[in-house]
Amino acid sequence: MKEIPLSSCERNSVIAAIQKGLRHDNREFLEVRDINISFGKDFGSCTVTLGQTRVLAQVTCEVVEPRPSRPSEGKISISVHLSPMAAPHFELGRGNDLVEELQQILDRNIKESRCLDLESLCILAEESVWQLRVDVTVLNHAGNLGDACNLASVAALRHFHRPDVTVEEDGRVTIHTLEEREPIPTFMKKVPVCLTYAFFMVDEKCHMLMDPSDLEERVMSGKLIVGLNPHGEITSMMFPGRVALQKREIMNCIQNAFSKAKASAEMIARVVDDDVMKRKSLIKPSGYTDCLVSDSTYRRKKIDELVENEIRGEFVIPQEPMEENSTKMEDSMDDSEEEEEEAEESMEISSPKKSVQAPANKSKKKTTTMSDSEEEEIAETLTANDLQ
């Protein structure tokens, strides 16, 4: 299925908003969407949500033979998968420019930057080493897949723990399970961060945005992808697009990226360390249930937590205050009744006497006339009887 092109109204509305300093999602030009990182039940399974963009990364390992040129270093491979679940125009088994771009970003930012200590993956030199495989799957495409895939891959690698091994005298390698021995964490020298900047040419003026959405990516003139680490080292830089930028604009992007990279690296390290500490304290990992807002079990779990928390005490009222409140309510009701009676009496006193007496006089007249007529009828009946 081909991607549905944007209408001229949508394109013009995005450009007009950017020209006035606005974005369609009410963000600032250099504001990033909300980032959420969660881990599965196994080590090395991680999902990252960047706004509505969702990416899953899974790290696995196996024992292989090393390269002849580097016999004491392990291996790492990264692959990106796009499916129609992420976007209708993605097709299974067909590569496109987006897959090649994401693959290039991850290879440069993770593999070529040598952020991992590959020598620590060696089991027996020239015979057996660990090979780490990172599978990145895009679950929902809502813009800026490069940053989301990089965050998921780095967090999954830092969270991954490989099993411990024992090398026998004859060269045999024994892999121990997680129950037999504690797994070994993956050592990462530096945390690589990827940041994307989009550029819009409006009336010969270049506007720069950070973390573009899907709609903005389809309208932008070009973008700059900067890969760096918190130590101030640029690991990669890609510039796909047809916009000619000046040196000053590129330097502004790099300076802003340095200020954002440290916060992103600290966030990844903090989230990973917290999850590892929970696992060491024998807290059973909940997996991805916390990410599923529509899951009935997650909602039931939240309700149970609310019942067990101290919030329950705010809604439960003790008996003694209940009696006090009831007495106060009764007193207030009595006071209100007395006030209503006093108001009625005051209305009767303030009303004129004529208006009160007038209906009484009319009623008296009516009663007298009714009595006279009755007497006349009775007299007539009596006289008629006498005549007979």
Residues 321-346 have a mean pLDDT of 56
Q: HSE-up of 109 (CA within 13 Å, CB side)?
A: 28
Burial category of 21 from C-beta neighbours within 10 Å (exposed 0-12, middle 13-18, buried 19 and up): exposed
With a cut of 50, say whether residue 308 has pLDDT above it: yes
- pLDDT bin (cut points 50, 70, 90) of residue 196 is very high
pLDDT tens-place string over residues 3-49: 788 889 999 999 999 999 999 888 999 999 999 999 998 899 999 99
Residue 139's pLDDT is 92
pLDDT tens-place string over residues 225-238: 999 988 888 988 88
Residues 235-249 have a mean pLDDT of 83
With a cut of 70, say whether residue 291 has pLDDT above it: no
pLDDT tens-place string over residues 113-127: 888 888 989 998 888
* Strand ranges in the chain using DSSP code E only, listed in sequence order: 35-39, 45-50, 53-64, 75-81, 122-124, 128-140, 161-162, 165-167, 173-175, 184-185, 193-202, 205-210, 222-228, 234-238
- pLDDT bin (cut points 50, 70, 90) of residue 310 is low
pLDDT tens-place string over residues 156-195: 999 999 999 988 887 788 888 888 888 999 888 889 999 9
Residue 388's pLDDT is 45
Reference 165, options 153, 177, 149; nearest CA is 177
- Measured over the CA atoms of residue 296, residue 298, residue 303 and residue 308, the dihedral's sign is positive
Share of the chain above pLDDT 70, in %: 75
